[in-house]
Amino acid sequence: MFFQGCEREQMRGFSPCLHLFVWKSMRWTHGWDNCTSMTEFILLGLSDATDITDILSLFFLIIYGVTVITNLGMVALIQVSSQLHTPMYFFLSHFSVIVHKMLANILNKSKAISFLECVVQFYLFCTCVIFDVFLLAVMAYDRFVAICNPLLYTVIMSQKLCVVLISGCYLCASACALIYLCLALQIPTYKSNVINHFFCDLPPLLSLACSDVTINKVLLFIVTVFNDSLTNMIILTSYFFILITVLRMHSTEGRRKAFSTCVSHLTVIIVFHGTIIFICCSPSSDNGGDADKVATVFYTIVIPMLNPLIYSLRNKGMKDDLGKILSSKIY
């Protein structure tokens, strides 16, 4: 019937029928008959097993509680202690804590998330992660000034400059997250609403797209590489000059103090960027491989809990101030 209709259209040309034939062929070939716009997504989470889910519920609830208490305690200690009113602790107090709807989904046994909630969650997640990436670069510059120009440290790292640097981190993070969000919103229809992940991330969403998302993936790659290259260049350059300055010191005690001020920051950089590099180099599929989900849990939930512990346990000034405050409260 289709080709008979095309024969009747010979006097007016073949292009409409040919276009319809090609369009139907593409639908059959690519499975686009089930494509539709989504109002809700289903997050599969980390595991479908009920026993494991219950254990994960308790585990993440404990981590969440420890993360909130330690981060708020660190911020309060920095605000109370006048000796901690330095640029390094000012930057440290801005470290973000990423908490997903995943925790609520696990506790409520619900895996559904609306399209609007998915968009907002994805934007906030990108903003927090990118902000942490830029903040680590800013803190590397702060360590460079403190060790390589100690006499001019208070002059260079003025309060005005610190506010400008923090504002720049927030601005860059918001702008990059907005770009990622626009790439996600460019997907008109989806093959399925089931996301094999525990939160809304761009690669799983792109893998469910019916349309061609090659341009989206290229732009995602360009923005990601630009951010990582810029921040890593700042970090590597700062620590290159720090290493040269430390090696030129004649005092062993001076070298020890210089290295001790950088150990905490270097530890966070290695853990944070190492996890992200693992995710980028992992051969898992776009729609949430198990290795990707475990690595994502590590740098989105575990690392925010470890940050205050790493900085407080490795920093003598913070431990001394905490001991003084606790002693004054006790006695």
Nearest residue to 134 via CA among 185, 175, 173: 173
Angstrom distance (rounded) from CA 268 to CA 232: 13
Beta bridge partners of 40: 114
Q: Would residue 23 count as lying in a domain?
A: no
Give φ, ψ of 190 to 5 degrees: -130, 150
Instruction: Quote the CA–CA distance of 167 and 218 in Å, as a whole number.
Output: 28
What local confidence, expressed as pLDDT, does residue 258 receive?
78
Domain region containing 203: 31-330
The reported pLDDT for the residue numbered 102 is: 64
**What CA–CA distances, in Å, run from 94 to 243, 244, 277?**
27, 29, 23
Q: Is residue 160 situated within a structural domain?
A: yes
- Beta strands (DSSP E) in the chain are 40-43, 112-114, 194-195
Give CA–CA dist 17/3, Å, rounded.
Answer: 8
DSSP H or E run through 178 = helix 159-185
For residue 199, give the DSSP letter: S
How many angstroms separate the first and last alpha carbons of the chain? 94
Cα–Cα distances in Å, from 274 out to 41, 73, 206, 265, 279? 30, 27, 24, 14, 9
**Is residue 211 in a domain?**
yes
Whether 92 and 70 have beta carbons less than 8 Å apart is answered as no
Strands ordered across the beta sheet of 194-195? 112-114, 40-43, 194-195
Task: Using alpha carbons, select from 224, 148, 152, 211 the residue that is nearest to residue 185.
Answer: 211
In a domain, 94, yes or no: yes
String of DSSP letters for 263-304: HHHHHHHHHHHHHHHHHHH----TTT-HHHHHHHHIIIIIHH
Residues 321/77, Cβ–Cβ less than 8 Å? yes
Residue 95 counted as domain residue: yes
Question: pTM for this structure?
Answer: 0.78
CA-based angle 137:100:235, to the nearest 5? 10
83 inside domain:
yes
Total domains present in the chain: 1
- What is the per-residue pLDDT for 15? 44
**Residue-by-residue pLDDT tens, the chain, 331 positions:** 444 444 444 444 444 443 433 334 444 344 445 677 778 888 877 666 556 667 777 777 788 788 888 778 778 877 777 777 788 888 888 876 666 666 666 666 667 888 888 888 889 888 988 998 899 999 999 999 989 988 889 899 998 999 999 999 999 999 999 998 888 888 888 888 888 877 788 888 888 888 888 888 888 888 888 888 899 899 999 999 999 998 888 888 878 877 777 887 888 888 887 777 776 666 554 555 566 677 777 777 777 777 777 776 556 656 666 666 556 655 5
What CATH number did the domain enclosing 180 receive? 1.20.1070.10
Whole-number Å distance between alpha carbons of 87 and 157: 7
Would 20 be classed as within a structural domain? no
